[in-house]
Amino acid sequence: MTNTYHSDEYAQVYARSLTEPESFWSEQAAHIPWMKAPETILDQDENGVWRWFSDGVMNSCFVALDQHVEQGRGDQTALIYDSPVTGTVEKYSYSELLAKTAVIAGGLADLGVSKGDVVVIYMPMVPETAAAMLACARIGAIHSVVFGGFAPKELAMRIDDANPKVILAASCGIEVDRVIPYQPLLNDAIDLAEHKPDHVVMLQRPQCEAVLSAPRDVDWRAWESGASPVGCVPVAATDPLYVLYTSGTTGKPKGIVRDNGGHAVALNYSMGAVYGVGIGDVYWAASDVGWVVGHSYIVYGPLFAGCTTILYEGKPVKTPDAGAFWRVLAQHRVKSFFVAPTAFRAMRKEDPDCELLQQYDISSLEYQFVAGERLDPPTYHWLKEHLDVPVIDHWWQTETGWSICANMAGIELLESKAGSCTLPAPGWDLRVLDADGQEVGPNQEGAIVIKAPLPPSAFPTVWKDHQRFEDSYWSEYPGFYLTGDGGYRDEDGYVFVMGRTDDVINVAGHRLSTGRIEEVVAEHPAIAECAVVGIADPEKGQVPVGLLLMKDGVNQDEGALQSELVQAVRSAVGPIANFKRAIVVPRLPKTRSGKILRQVIRKMIDGQEYVVPSTIDDPGIVDELRDTLSRNGWLG
């Protein structure tokens, strides 16, 4: 194999981003419109954090909308709202989305919201949600989107931490064919919270209308129709654009802060460099605005770059079937598509031979991207078998806002490797360190870290808790950002992210990645999906066990299946893995973003107390799993 790590185009761009970061990012900054162009490209703030474009002045809503209208592209489609759960497809031109956003911004100003104020957005995947985010940016307010349907206690914690002046909400969300009323959850959260918002603006959806209580509650339609459009407020590049909460090890969520300037520069750059799209191209990230993917690649990134973005209110299956994604790709002529691997595993489970794809013409598709969790090799190979386009795994985090590692479609597509997110994106000085902080050699696992300064868009602090920022991310390896993920680089420099560092188990003194064992287990032809966790063992310290989800229509004796998997792991990983137990389960507990709740599974089997997070997709799955494990004598 040729050493693609040293290929010319990518290698030159990447090397320059590390050796000449200021000139590299200054050139990228020139591609967005500034009200005052930055002269200081990189410096440090009062906390010693590296900041980008600190003397620049701009507005993120202007970058996303106004500039395109001013440049004569107002009639181009900016956003397609595709909602199979309501049977709706609506298109908004850049001019139409700008007009709607400017009026909502005026409505927020009428409620007393101004620059620096926080607005919590608790809404489903509807056009008003995207417009509300952009409207906050337009007036310099800070939005904090909370996934619609979040439990009251979790929402209350975010309200108390963010202190919003106004909450924008909808009366309900729709999960396949189930209507979820939001107002009872929101009212309970406000009752629990010490901080009380001045107003709640409620978007009434016909599937479930809320009862409003004046003067706090305001009807969205009347509010919007009575408002006047407002212009863009100038903000510093380092002013916060949004706060997005992510899970913390202490139980208290961390408010990840995103600035305006670095975010716009990095995301605009990434649309071309990572995803290979530009003005007029149709781009789809099948995620939710409650997650960072929705912020970066449903709302901001595609609009910064002048693309058409898709806001999809549906699922990969059951809305109506496992061909839902193929239908969207064909109908809207999508060029670049991004989704979490769990979606494809769900599709593969219901349509293992991808027969539904034959009904659709997806010839417009040029790139298939996956991220949000590790792309297991069986899913990668399934996609390669059925899609005649590059399948690109890339890796990034809420904290970073865009790719740490990717196969850069817009720079140079390199040879891909199953299980690898390829190479670091420009600006990310990635290292793999051992427990003593020493860099390890090829194919040796360790902690994945990034040397400071981090590139534009990376978070500069945790909201109202900078010490937590330092303690959680910078204290273990001074000068390096601790990603919390473990993995290795191979002899070509390719990066393999094997999972969170707490997914590393210690079996009789041997450190093993559960991700590697999952790879082997998932390759069995009878298995649709699996989770491997390390459970307590009196002799070995920990041993791995497997929870298996079978493909539809497959019947195999569990004892024989377990024997086959034990032998497969023994052959691929070695007898030191001590993998001896596996069980078939009806479903795996996951968050709404598709991450398997491995810690909950591990603690359940070990007989420890566990907390089911509010982000779980369906709380009933935990009880169902517990019953299955109990019947089979698996509970400690």
Which two tokens mark 8?
């010319």
Q: Which pLDDT value is given to residue 6?
A: 47
Query: 215 preceded by cis ω (within 30°)?
Result: yes
Query: Count of alpha carbons within 13 Å of 283, Cβ hemisphere only?
Result: 31
Alpha carbon distances (Å) from 149 to 123, 132, 186, 317, 587: 8, 18, 9, 20, 21
- Check pLDDT > 80 for residue 252: no
Longest dimension (CA), the chain: 70
Instruction: Specify the CATH superfamily of domain 508-631.
Output: ANL, C-terminal domain (3.30.300.30)
270-279 pLDDT, tens per residue? 999 999 999 9
Q: Are 138 and 105 in contact (CB under 8 A)?
A: yes
249 contacts 445 by C-beta, under 8 angstroms: no
CB 52 within 8 A of CB 262: yes
The pLDDT value given to residue 248: 58
Mean pLDDT over residues 22-32, rounded? Answer: 98
pLDDT at 573: 80
* Residue 455, preceding peptide bond in cis (omega within 30° of 0): no
Given pLDDT bands bounded at 50, 70 and 90, which one contains residue 342? confident
Helices of type H across 448-592: 466-473, 514-522, 558-572
Higher pLDDT, 539 or 58: 58
Q: Do you know the residue count of the chain?
A: 636
Reference 247, options 382, 150, 178; nearest CA is 150
pLDDT, one tens digit per residue, over 301-336 is: 999 999 999 999 999 999 999 999 999 999 999 999
- Closest C-alpha to 423, from 15, 1, 45: 15
Query: Residues 15-33: what's their mean pLDDT?
Result: 98
Share of the chain above pLDDT 70, in %: 97
Return the domain boundaries, the chain: 508-631
Question: Please, which residues have CB within 8 angstroms of residue 343's CB and are 6 or more apart in sequence?
Answer: 286, 316, 325, 594
pLDDT in tens, 512-531: 788 889 989 999 999 999 99
